[in-house]
Structure 1
């Protein structure tokens, strides 16, 4: 059964629309949206599928979705805005803004270390219970007193959830605003985008329900089995779950595919993790952002191009240069097989692990298949969101980006000048 795709696509971008449709192949219960803004103008705005498989609710034009670690890209834009305004310095000690953070040998940690996953705090040494996800003060105090897993600044490993609280507390100390309020004021409103870190409760009915697909279910089951067999402390697993607050897949309940790999589906309560409305309204800036694809693409386009709201670019060329300088690359502290990502000041940079349209791209992907980025050389703001969470060799967004690259540059991975003219949009 084919999935109906709605929306508009500008002339010349039809191959991107075809790649979006192909993402639904074999996935009748999937919902997704794709938005591409080119030099301030929307050229692709598509959506389709199911927003909630339990009720059959369709994915509509105004459907919102949890964006997981794409949230880190948004917090990195916010940090860059504060650097640009002279309120924050990447090279300053964290204790300049957050004195308590200097405990347990962390006094030499710099703001850039927090952003580039070099802080040594990817996982809590003390479990964080489910009910504490919304308790900002408790969590940041725990991180401030914690001994790091390695000397800060000497190595990197991905901080999947704690990243947001670490830079978010610096933002709070600098601005006097919560991370979500600062994001609204400095990023979302200037870009004219419906995007939140801490969703207003009135918008909860618009949020798609996330579902764990077979590949993600199999991967997390394998990781759990390997961790049990190895013994010791499973720091990467604790980094994802906070040792109690979240399921390893980040959402629940697990779907029936989980049964096939031998896990206890009944152990996961309905609405767990980022499917829980209480978590969606909380400020969890490492993974809890909520937006439409249209809003995300607009924000990323607005980093380098004038926003449709009339606001100028969010970031200057010099700010982007500073923010995208490589700060972490190569093999991480916890060994994982390549390809490895590269990181700037919180931004995921173009690498073999995540290709953009050109090497100038910067953004962030998210659990389950989410991808959002800016590509200044190509003039592109991009966002793909889906509620069918997969893992491993998930090519859905990659195929779309590949199609976009061929249109924009005429190549698979290299960039050449020239972008096709916009001949207007048509409905599909």
Structure 2
């Protein structure tokens, strides 16, 4: 496998793990980037631009099907971590109170026993609405109206604030409508205008037409090596729960039914902050690096109090949707058995199927891994975990 890009001396282990992902863990096209103390120390890419396109071997250095430095991909739920910066920045600027009821900003949301849901509950998957009575069609999911209306009308499935369960799809409409009510603009627009645009980061929630040609195709893969995959087995694991059409796991992911075509232009253009973000590994790593410190892109985004808040545990223990123990801060997944990150100080978010991005304030690390080969893993993907371990060894 011909790998493109650079690694700073001392981080050669990351390149070795990246190569191994292609040789033994099923990667077809991928990129990884790492910042340390605001400086990019890893920037690698290889393979084919499209997971269902030409074979990865030998394509990295050229050819129309090669993954290039600016290739972007759908990163699924890794989008949630980028989107979470919006409410935290609004809070930092005094525009959003995390202790206030969501209904104070969005009165219609009070229906169905949700009048006491706080903003912090919404961000930490404690709002009690991970599923809908009727799944929305892909067209309804992206129209900007049907999703917020459905979650506002939905009765809470447990007493809000008393438990947590991953709001896999409904998080899109919960967060986007809250931001719209506070700012008057969509979350994707606010992010582009206030964060990614000024920083020059190639990440979008709502892909502009002009950038469509840079985005590769994603497709399922079945990596031959499963070392490092999640081995936590409570009453049943997430795969078994997914197979049960009546489980809360299946219903949560089926809040969009059928699941949309992630390669379709309409989906890529949609502002779905739970799942439809598109970007490069370099942009994800640069984004998280900018949250916690000054970088080549500009000044630090989070002040020290907001950085501490991002890593504060708000939910922990048995997850009613993912059926493993998970830990969440305000919008971020935290280091734990379900998603091992670099250290207990890390905060970020994986994407189902492989992608991962996070910050570690103590180590000064911003990390981003993007792949077009979507494995069956929900969290703790072996390819991403191998890279995280290599970063830790390099430190």
TM normalised by structure 2 equals 0.89
Bigger-Rg structure (1/2): 1
Residue of structure 2 equivalent to 1:298: 286
- Is the CA contact 1:78–1:186 (under 8 Å) kept in the aligned structure 2? no
Change (3 A) 1:73 1:358: same
Residue of structure 2 equivalent to 1:284: 272
- Is the CA contact 2:101–2:117 (under 8 Å) kept in the aligned structure 1? yes
Residue of structure 2 equivalent to 1:405: 392
- Deviations along 1:43-62, whole A, 9 cap, x unmatched? 10000011114443111111
In structure 2, C-alpha distance between the alignment counterparts of 1:53 and 1:71, rounded to whole Å: 20
In structure 2, C-alpha distance between the alignment counterparts of 1:124 and 1:215, rounded to whole Å: 32
Change (3 A) 1:79 1:215: same
Q: For 1:394, which of 373, 381, 394 is the aligned residue?
A: 381
Matched, 1:14 2:12: yes
Residue of structure 1 equivalent to 2:61: none
- Structure 2 gap segments, 5+ residues each: 55-64, 225-236
CA RMSD, Structure 1 to Structure 2 (Å): 2.1
Residue of structure 2 equivalent to 1:49: 47
Q: Deviation at 1:152? A: 1.0
How is 1:162-241 mapped onto 2 (pairs within 5 angstroms)?
162-214=170-222, 226-227=243-244, 233-241=246-254
Change (3 A) 1:242 1:48: same
Matched, 1:349 2:321: no
- Is the CA contact 2:204–2:277 (under 8 Å) kept in the aligned structure 1? yes
Q: For 1:360, which of 334, 345, 351 is the aligned residue?
A: 345
Residue of structure 1 equivalent to 2:228: none
Q: Deviation at 1:38? A: 1.1
- Tell me the SS of whatever aligns to 1:314: coil
Q: Deviation at 1:354? A: 2.1
- Deviations along 1:9-32, whole A, 9 cap, x unmatched? 111110111011101014677100
- Tell me the SS of whatever aligns to 1:104: coil
In structure 1, C-alpha distance between the alignment counterparts of 2:206 and 2:124, rounded to whole Å: 23
Q: Deviation at 1:185? A: 2.0
How is 1:72-83 mapped onto 2 (pairs within 5 angstroms)?
72-83=80-91
Q: For 1:321, which of 308, 324, 327 is the aligned residue?
A: 308
* Higher mean C-alpha displacement, 397-406 vs 52-61: 52-61
Residue of structure 2 equivalent to 1:262: none
Q: Deviation at 1:287? A: 0.5
- Is the CA contact 1:360–1:376 (under 8 Å) kept in the aligned structure 2? yes
- Is the CA contact 1:192–1:307 (under 8 Å) kept in the aligned structure 2? no
- Is the CA contact 2:51–2:373 (under 8 Å) kept in the aligned structure 1? no
Change (3 A) 1:6 1:120: same
Residue of structure 2 equivalent to 1:381: 366
Change (3 A) 1:387 1:345: same
- Tell me the SS of whatever aligns to 1:136: coil
In structure 2, C-alpha distance between the alignment counterparts of 1:364 and 1:53, rounded to whole Å: 22
Q: Deviation at 1:220? A: 9.2
In structure 2, C-alpha distance between the alignment counterparts of 1:341 and 1:17, rounded to whole Å: 29
TM normalised by structure 1 equals 0.83
- Deviations along 1:311-335, whole A, 9 cap, x unmatched? x211011112223211100012347
Residue of structure 1 equivalent to 2:110: 102
Matched, 1:33 2:31: yes
In structure 2, C-alpha distance between the alignment counterparts of 1:373 and 1:221, rounded to whole Å: 25
Task: Count how many residue pairs are aligned between Structure 1 and Structure 2.
Answer: 372
- Deviations along 1:225-253, whole A, 9 cap, x unmatched? x415xxxx33211211325141xxxxxxx
- Is the CA contact 1:28–1:49 (under 8 Å) kept in the aligned structure 2? no
Change (3 A) 1:28 1:401: closer
- Tell me the SS of whatever aligns to 1:342: strand
In structure 1, C-alpha distance between the alignment counterparts of 2:81 and 2:51, rounded to whole Å: 29
- Deviations along 1:148-194, whole A, 9 cap, x unmatched? 11111111000111112201111111111111001112321243211
- Structure 1 gap segments, 5+ residues each: 247-271, 409-428
Change (3 A) 1:127 1:190: same
- Is the CA contact 1:133–1:245 (under 8 Å) kept in the aligned structure 2? no
Q: For 2:157, which of 144, 149, 157 is the aligned residue?
A: 149
In structure 2, C-alpha distance between the alignment counterparts of 1:27 and 1:237, rounded to whole Å: 27
